[in-house]
Amino acid sequence: MGCPGVPHESAPDAGSRVEGTFIVNPVSDDRTRRPKAETETVTETLDRWSRLSQESSRFDPALYVEYDVKRGLRDLTGKGVVAGLTQIGDVVGSRVEGDSRVPAPGQLIYRGIDVVDLVDGFLAEGRLGFEETSYLLLFGELPDGDELRLFGDNLASYRKLPRQFVHDAILGMPSHDIMNAMARSVLSMYLLDKHADDTSIANVLRQSLHLISKFSMLAVYAYQAYLEEFCGKSLVIHRPAAELSTAENFLHMLRPNSKFTPLEAQVLDLSLVLHAEHGGGNNSSFTAHVVSSSGTDTYSAIAASLGSLKGPKHGGANIKVVHMFDDLKLNVRDWEDDEEIERYLLRVLDRQEFDRSGLIYGMGHPVYSVSDPRTVILRHYAERLAGEKGLAKEYQLHAKVETLAPQAIAKTRTVYKGVSANVDFYSGFVYQMLDIPQELYTPLFAVSRVVGWCAHRLEEIVSGGKIIRPAYKSVASRREYSPLEGR
């Protein structure tokens, strides 16, 4: 017997033809009525349907202004539509002066604490900070020494996956895309959880801690499976070490020799801290809220957030920055010539260079205008790491582009607010210096941001209550139904 609702596989009918992976059946023997359905190839049909879909999905962007709809839930100045309340994080890019709001140096707030103060605090004590940051975001308070050790010990104890799960769900099903592999693994974890659908706070918190602890393993192991299957590399799997932090374990599991320097671990840990949360309005955290509001399970909500983060407009932007700099290095002979660099940037904006998108990647942010606080912090440690790696010239090139790009943008665009480098501008460079492969740039973002997703899921369950379903304005004209015979 087959599974309920799943048809049995059978051989094609004698009158069918097979094209690619599709079976095309003739609709009828009457070729005078619907010749398209009988004579088109699958590709031709899909092309025709694609044109119909495009035509029926397109409308004049001016309608957004006419109906006062904030496209992407933000207006031209970057001000967002308020869709909810949160205590977890805040993103500040302006201040009030008199009766108006003006751009200001950016601030990122975790549970009421400026991330600059948080970073300065644990660095001053010579500690790594991701575990402390995770505790703060989940529970709203800074842990004392005993509580921090207990939290770290719990994460270490959860960094285990059944051997069969690793073999079957990760290594046995390699993927070209690590984010998709991680999402599949997260959904597979549902099968291991006897209380997968329990949405009580205690259970969701237990699930969250397991996910936070295991995400680095899911990412690295999926990458190792990718190397073995698609690149012909040897399969090297290191178990996580209980005495190592999340950042240290990532480097330990990724590198065949498991070796890393204290500065490398510190910079990676710092990157994890800076990416852990960014307010409830970022695309993937909002996804966690939206999906959680439906009452679904934790694994479905986190898999949905992974799908959101995978997009190049969200988590994949730092890869674009790296590729853009590779192209710049090929087209700019003198890295110290500001005029030559600016000419290249102007050609990029004019869609003549790089990917011809007209975008300088790593520049600009929906909220930050004067500065991105994550960039300010990461820039300093990028410089230190570049010095250790012998890449000071590459760092100086980044610094020059960071200065010149806003000037080039101002010459070619109408700028409604300031433009500054966002965190992606330096994070990709940092990952390059850490010898992290580009396939893991966005998954590494997820290793960090899963903390924010879990915190927002918990908040939605505790304080949300209603399912999130925003309104859309219909701009379709009304028309009458026409009988099939007359179409």
Tell me how far apart the alpha carbons of residues 179 and 455 are, in angstroms, rounded to a whole number: 21
pLDDT value at 66 more than 80: yes
Contact (Cβ atoms closer than 8 angstroms) between residue 340 and residue 349: no
| Residue 146 near residue 286 (C-beta atoms within 8 A) | no
Write down the pLDDT at residue 35.
54
Task: Given CATH 1.20.1260.10, say whether it is the number of domain 317-433.
Answer: no
pLDDT value of position 14 = 41
pLDDT for position 464 = 80
Q: What is the mean pLDDT of residues 384-392?
A: 96
64/486: higher pLDDT = 486
Low-confidence winner among 29-38, 241-250, 376-385, 464-473 (lowest mean pLDDT): 29-38
Q: Return the pLDDT at 20.
A: 44
Q: What's the pLDDT score for residue 75?
A: 72
Same fold, 110-312+449-463 and 317-433: no
Residue 52 confidence class, pLDDT cut points 50, 70, 90: confident
Check: CATH 1.10.580.10 for 110-312+449-463? yes
What tens digit of pLDDT does each residue of 78-121 get?
Answer: 677 888 899 999 999 889 888 888 889 999 999 999 999 999 99
pLDDT for residue 6 = 40
User: What is the pLDDT at residue 259?
Assistant: 97
Please identify every residue annotated as catalytic.
314, 365, 424
Q: What ranges do the domains of the chain cover?
A: 17-57, 110-312+449-463, 317-433
pLDDT at 7: 42
**What percent of the chain stands above pLDDT 70?**
92
Listed range (108-112, 144-148, 470-474) with the worst mean pLDDT: 470-474
What global pTM score does this model have? 0.87
Across 21-60, b (16+ Cβ under 10 Å) vs e yields eeebeeeeeeeeeeeeeeeeeeeeeeeeeeeeeeeeeeee
* pLDDT score, position 45: 86
The values of phi and psi at residue 371, to 5°, are: -165, 150
Residue 9 pLDDT class (50, 70, 90 cuts): very low
Residues 366-376: pLDDT tens digits?
889 999 999 99
pLDDT at residue 287 in the model = 97
Confidence of residue 26 (pLDDT cuts 50, 70, 90): very low
Q: Please report, in angstroms and rounded to a whole number, the separation of the first and last CA atoms in the chain.
A: 43
What pLDDT sits at residue 10? 42
Average pLDDT, the chain: 90
φ, ψ at 80 (rounded to 5°): -95, 155
pLDDT at 12 over 70: no
pLDDT value at position 103? 87
Give the single-character DSSP code of 276. S
Stronger pLDDT, 77 or 410, i.e. the higher one: 410
Between 24 and 392, the more confident residue is 392
The C-alpha atoms of residue 341 and residue 397 are separated, in whole angstroms, by: 9
User: Is the pLDDT assigned to residue 123 strictly greater than 90?
Assistant: yes
Residue 402 pLDDT exceeds 60: yes
What per-residue confidence (pLDDT) applies to 420?
94
pLDDT in tens, 312-363: 888 888 999 999 999 999 999 999 999 999 999 999 999 999 999 999 999 9
Distance CA 426, CA 228 (A): 30
Biggest alpha carbon–alpha carbon distance for the chain: 82
**pLDDT score for 3:** 47
Higher pLDDT, 316 or 289: 289
8 Å CB contact between 170 and 214? no
Confidence class for position 76, pLDDT limits 50, 70, 90: low
Report the distance separating Cα 443 and Cα 439, nearest Å.
Answer: 8
**pLDDT of 370:** 93
CA distance 80 to 279: 12
* pLDDT value for 465: 83
Would the pLDDT of 131 be above 60? yes
Q: Is the pLDDT of residue 486 over 70?
A: yes
Q: Give residue 85's region: left, alpha or beta (phi > 0; psi -120 to 50).
A: beta
Residues 428-437: what's their mean pLDDT? Answer: 97
When mean pLDDT is compared across 59-73, 352-366, 452-466, the lowest value belongs to 59-73
pLDDT number for residue 37: 56
Going by their DSSP bridges, the two strands 22-24 and 100-110 should be labelled as unpaired
Whether 131 and 155 have beta carbons less than 8 Å apart is answered as yes
Under DSSP, the state recorded for 140 is: S
Question: Per residue in 166-223, pLDDT tens?
Answer: 999 999 999 999 999 999 999 999 999 999 999 999 999 999 999 999 999 999 999 9
